Amino acid sequence: MAVDTDSEAAVGAVAAVAAGAAVAAGAHPAGAATLDSTDRRCNAGNDPVAVVELIGASAAVAGRTLWGGVNLTVECGEFVAVLGPNGVGKSTLIKVLLGVLPAAAGEVRVLGRRPGAAGAQIGYLPQRRSFDASLRIRGVDVVRLGLDGDRWGIPLPGTRRFNARRRAEQDRVEEVIDLVGASAYAHRAIGECSGGEQQRLLIAQALVRRPRLLVLDEPLDSLDLPNQASVAALIGRISRSEDVAVVMVAHDVNPILPYLDRVVYLADGGAASGTPEEVITTETLSNLFGTPVEVLRASDGRLVVVGGPEAPVLHSDRHTAAAVAAPPAPIAAQRLAGRRPNGSEADRAH
Ligand SMILES: Nc1ncnc2c1ncn2[C@@H]1O[C@H](COP(=O)(O)OP(=O)(O)OP(=O)(O)O)[C@@H](O)[C@H]1O
């Protein structure tokens, strides 16, 4: 979200970002229960409920079908990218997962429930956030808004229960700041932090309630290449260490390629899903877009897409067509091979 120089607007932006977390938190009354981590682990891979499941799903806005036939299963701790050209409906897919927009057809389940019903277990980072340099709110306070940004009323301090909850919350805020590597600057004003530092703090905010699903809308947008690489590595590490499934909209797959389990590639009316090796191929993308598309692999493992309506994995800056990609990022075949084998077919529907 862009913020102008008016500091009031900037404060509004903080609230709006917190509201992003709160949208995900839904009407869940924040409290000690939300800090309990005992029910959020992957259960050694035996969890019977997929975190996200789409079966033949399609979406439409203003009577226009954006994409359709999406089949996707995201298991606990998996990292999935949503790819496709500008305006194809990537953010719309996120709206469907959050329950903001109903699917036009097919079935969508999030943590075994209808979208929107499991809000407290979803951390959400909306698209295009930034803070004005004059904003004085500290990073740690922005993270804390992820815990209590949706809490109304004045708490009654002094009680043992209140104090215990405050301590637990404080511990969690510090823990998650440490997790994203933001301890060195979390007590500075957020407006003084760099774009990459702000992004880490916002990821901490989305994680602070220990969500089982992290939904990120272009979190690498507007970061320089080194920051794209380090934030991508952070998200990949968190998906494993915190057992949180990640669904991330991306315009350039290369920074996240080493960490991905699956991709969903959206095209006008259709979609393809599967492992990156299955989907990001000359054959699959040519079929999907109905026009010749060539996928080239550079010697350092980067993927370059040539042709088609747009080359979404080609460029790191979504506003230029320059063939710049992430730092060396070979596909970690062993990582992909080590993941759950189910759902690995490239589905195509058009
Ligand atoms: N409320 C709405 N009414 C009408 N059209 C809409 C509405 N919301 C989104 N759209 C249209 O739906 C299409 C998909 O939008 P969406 O934001 O999901 O695309 P996207 O793939 O995320 O795009 P980008 O990569 O540019 O962020 C766009 O053409 C957009 O203009």
Among residues 30, 27, 33, which one has the least CA distance to residue 148?
A: 30
In a domain, 142, yes or no: yes
Distance from Cα 130 to the centre of ligand 1, integer Å:
21
Q: Which of 58, 90, 253 has most ligand 1 atoms within 8 Å of its beta carbon, as the pocket-test mutant?
A: 90
> Is 86 near ligand 1, meaning CB less than 6 Å away?
yes
In a domain, 326, yes or no: no
Distance from Cα 6 to the centre of ligand 1, integer Å:
28
The pLDDT, as a whole number, for residue 211 is 93
User: What ipTM, to 2 d.p.?
Assistant: 0.96
Distance from Cα 89 to the centre of ligand 1, integer Å:
5
Burial of 239 (0-12, 13-18, 19+ CB in 10 A): buried
The pLDDT, as a whole number, for residue 42 is 67
261, 79 Cβ separation under 8 angstroms: yes
- Which CATH number fits the domain that encloses residue 89? 3.40.50.300
Q: How many domains does the chain have?
A: 1
Is pLDDT at 9 greater than 70 in this prediction? no
pLDDT tens per residue, range 208-262: 999 999 999 999 987 889 989 999 999 999 998 889 999 999 989 999 999 999 9
Is pLDDT at 344 greater than 90 in this prediction? no
> Is 312 near ligand 1, meaning CB less than 6 Å away?
no
> Is 91 near ligand 1, meaning CB less than 6 Å away?
yes
Segments forming the whole domain that contains residue 41: 7-276
In a domain, 102, yes or no: yes
Distance from Cα 135 to the centre of ligand 1, integer Å:
30
Instruction: Give how far Cα 340 sits from Cα of 236, 300, 308, 337, 344, Å.
Output: 16, 26, 31, 8, 8
Among residues 132, 124, 169, which one has the least CA distance to residue 30?
A: 169
pLDDT tens per residue, range 54-97: 999 999 999 999 999 999 999 999 999 999 999 999 999 999 99
Ligand 1 atom nearest the C-alpha of 92 is 18
In a domain, 328, yes or no: no
Distance from Cα 4 to the centre of ligand 1, integer Å:
23
pLDDT tens per residue, range 274-293: 999 999 999 999 999 988 99
Cβ atoms within 10 Å, residue 79: 25
Distance from Cα 152 to the centre of ligand 1, integer Å:
32
> Is 172 near ligand 1, meaning CB less than 6 Å away?
no
In a domain, 172, yes or no: yes
Ligand 1 atom nearest the C-alpha of 84 is 21
Poorest-pLDDT segment among 33-42, 44-53, 85-94, 186-195: 33-42
305, 313 Cβ separation under 8 angstroms: yes
The pLDDT, as a whole number, for residue 119 is 81
The pLDDT, as a whole number, for residue 156 is 62
Distance from Cα 205 to the centre of ligand 1, integer Å:
26
Of the chain, the percentage scoring pLDDT greater than 90 comes to 52
In a domain, 28, yes or no: yes
> Is 92 near ligand 1, meaning CB less than 6 Å away?
yes
Give nearest CA residue, ligand 1 atom 7.
Answer: 61
The average pLDDT across 28-56 equals 59
pLDDT tens per residue, range 103-157: 999 999 999 999 999 888 999 999 877 788 888 899 999 999 988 765 555 556 6
